[in-house]
Chain A
Amino acid sequence: MKTLELTAACPVPLTQYPHVLMAHGGGGTLMHQLVENIFGKAFSNPLLDARHDSAQFFVPPGRLAMTTDSYVVRPIFFPGGDIGSMAVHGTVNDLAMSGARPLYLSCAFIIEEGLPMETLWRVVCSMRDAARRCGVQIITGDTKVVDKGKGDGLFINTTGIGVMEHALDIAPQNVRPGDVVIVSGDLGRHGMAIMAVREGLQFESAIESDSAPVHEVVAELVTAGVEIHCLRDLTRGGLASALNEIAEAAGVKIAIEEKAVPVREDVHAACEMLGLDPLQVANEGRFIAMVAKQDGARALQIFRRHGVSANAEIIGTVAGKAAPLVTLRSAIGASRILDMPSGEQLPRIC
Chain B
Amino acid sequence: MKYLDEYRDGELAQKLALEIHRITTRPWNIMEVCGGQTHAIVKFGIDELLPEHITLIHGPGCPVCVTPLEVIDKALELAAKPGVIFTSFGDMLRVPGSTTDLLSVKAKGGDVRIVYSPLDAVKLAEQNPDREVVFLGVGFETTAPATAMAVFQAAQKRLKNFSMLVSHVLVPPAIEALMSSPDCRVQAFLAAGHVCAVMGYEEYPPLAEKYHVPIVVTGFEPLDILHGILMCVRQLESGRAEVENQYTRAVRREGNRPAQHLVREVFRVVPRKWRGVGEIPDSGLGLSAAYAAFDAEIKFGLADLHVDEPADCLSGQVLQGQIKPHQCPAFGVKCTPEHPLGATMVSGEGACAAYYRYRRHNAAETANVK
Which residues of A line the B interface, CB within 8 A? 199, 201, 265, 268-269, 272, 275, 323-325, 327, 330-337, 339, 342-344, 346-350
Contacts and interface: CB of A to CB of B under 8 A. Distances in A.
B94 A332 contact: no
B241 interface: no
B348 A275 contact: yes
A332 B138 contact: no
Contacts of B337: 342-343
Contact of A349 (B45, B94, B143): B143
Contacts, number: 105
17 contacts: A265-B1, A268-B1, A275-B91, A323-B364, A331-B5, A331-B9, A334-B48, A335-B45, A335-B48, A336-B45, A343-B94, A344-B103, A348-B64, A348-B91, A349-B91, A350-B139, A350-B143
B28 to A, nearest CB: 20
A265 B36 CA distance: 21
A72 to B, nearest CB: 16
Contacts of B370: 323-325
Contacts of B92: 349
Contact of B63 (A323, A331, A349): A349
A276 to B, nearest CB: 9
B361 A327 contact: yes
B156 to A, nearest CB: 23
A1 B64 CA distance: 57
Given A275-B348, A336-B44, 9 more contacts: A199-B114, A272-B1, A332-B9, A335-B48, A336-B42, A337-B358, A343-B94, A348-B64, A350-B143
Nearest to A347: B90
Nearest to B336: A342
Listed residue (B44, B63, B114) with the most chain A CB atoms within 10 angstroms of its CB: B44
A286 B361 CA distance: 28
A339 B337 CA distance: 11
Q: Is the interface of A mostly helix, strand, loop or mixed?
A: loop
Contacts of B116: 199, 201, 347
A125 B114 CA distance: 34
B8 A332 contact: yes
Given A331-B10, A333-B10, A342-B337, A349 B89 contact: yes
Given A265-B1, A272-B4, A331-B10, A336 B90 contact: no
B10 to A, nearest CB: 5
Given A265-B1, A269-B1, A350 B142 contact: yes
Contacts of B358: 336-337, 339
Contact of B338 (A330, A342, A346, A350): A342
Contact of A346 (B5, B36, B63, B114): B114
Nearest to A248: B370
B14 A333 contact: yes
Interface residues of B, number: 49
B68 interface: no
B159 interface: no
A334 B49 contact: yes
Contacts of B336: 342
B349 A332 contact: no
Given A347-B116, A348-B349, A350-B63, A331 B142 contact: no
B74 interface: no
Contacts of A343: 94, 337-338
Contact of B45 (A324, A332, A347, A350): A332
B22 to A, nearest CB: 18
A303 to B, nearest CB: 24
Interface in B337-370: 337-338, 347-349, 356-361, 364, 370
Interface in B178-196: 194
A330 B143 contact: no
A330 B94 contact: no
A273 to B, nearest CB: 9
Contacts of A347: 89-91, 114, 116
Contacts of B361: 325, 327, 337
Nearest to A338: B358
A326 to B, nearest CB: 10
Contacts of B2: 265
Contacts of B347: 348
A336 B46 contact: no
Given A343-B338, A349-B63, A331 B44 contact: yes
A65 to B, nearest CB: 32
A339 B14 CA distance: 25
A349 B360 CA distance: 25
B13 interface: yes
Contact of B89 (A324, A339, A348): A348
A330 B91 contact: no
B357 A350 contact: no
Contacts of A333: 10, 13-14, 45, 49
Q: Which 8 A-B pairs have the closest CB atoms?
A: A334-B45, A346-B90, A332-B13, A347-B90, A336-B358, A331-B8, A342-B337, A334-B48
Contacts of A265: 1-2
Contacts of A346: 90-91, 93-94, 114
A199 B114 CA distance: 9
A54 B365 CA distance: 57
Nearest to B93: A346
B222 interface: yes
A254 to B, nearest CB: 13
A337 B354 CA distance: 10
Nearest to A330: B44
A115 B335 CA distance: 45
Contacts of A339: 356-358, 360
Interface in B33-54: 36, 42-46, 48-49
Contacts of B63: 349-350
Nearest to A339: B357
A327 B361 CA distance: 9
A327 B43 CA distance: 11
Interface string B80-92: 0000000001111
Listed residue (A201, A327, A339, A342) with the most chain B CB atoms within 10 angstroms of its CB: A342
A92 to B, nearest CB: 33
Interface in B116-175: 116, 138-140, 142-143
A265 B1 CA distance: 6
